[in-house]
Structure 1
């Protein structure tokens, strides 16, 4: 999805996946917890200029596909989403923190992030090859 900010048109899309701590023991994203998680991620996107393209919460991990402006660092996107969702879920369901996470955080430290766009790497390589008539030098 293309976006626009001052003097810039961009198409930067991220596939982000992260898991709660102790994922092999506790599958916590179902029912009202899943609804709260999804609602919170949607709510986070607008004020930060992200466009949520797709999201799926599995019982033990979360997939997010979003577009973000070039001013947003991928690590900052992940930090914001993890922090805000953890605070909201623990506020709405205080028993989860005590029962499943022993008073610690909701999310594991690691995550996956990949980029996606409309053009593949091979197309870009061919476009910028020396001698390409499409490029003015």
Structure 2
């Protein structure tokens, strides 16, 4: 059964844009590996569609990911649990050697995360553009 964002079924109207940052456990630089980064990108967009979360921008650095999201009526804790649980579980199932060699059988994401409200959208968009693997100019394997 598909989960739904409560905003769609509520009389409340509005947007709550936040910047979410999730860091990889043990600071492993797994997003320097193109295949891992592309798979995580695809998994994040699957999670956004599944939970009906709007994503304005997404960017990776070597060991973390930044996202500008409209969190709807989800709390920050719910948002983090849904996205990190969905993506972490699927990535480590699809790439089992990563779990064995880098995470020693544990999870993908560091338990700490940062989700902050956005007051100046332009500032955060420029910040994401400066990340190592910003989505604006990133080429996918399928383009070659």
User: TM-score, normalised on structure 2?
Assistant: 0.73
Q: Mapping of 1:53-132 within 5 angstroms?
A: 53-70=56-73, 72-117=74-119
Moved over 4 A (4+): none
| Structure ranking higher in helix proportion | 2
The unaligned stretches of length 5 or more in structure 1 are: 120-137
- CA RMSD in angstroms, aligned pairs only: 1.9
Residue 134 of structure 1: aligned partner: none
In 2, the alpha carbon distance for the partners of 1:111 and 1:80 equals 13
Are positions 1:33 and 2:36 aligned together? yes
User: TM-score, normalised on structure 1?
Assistant: 0.76
Aligned length: 114
In 2, the alpha carbon distance for the partners of 1:47 and 1:98 equals 28
Are positions 1:48 and 2:51 aligned together? yes
In 1, the alpha carbon distance for the partners of 2:15 and 2:119 equals 6
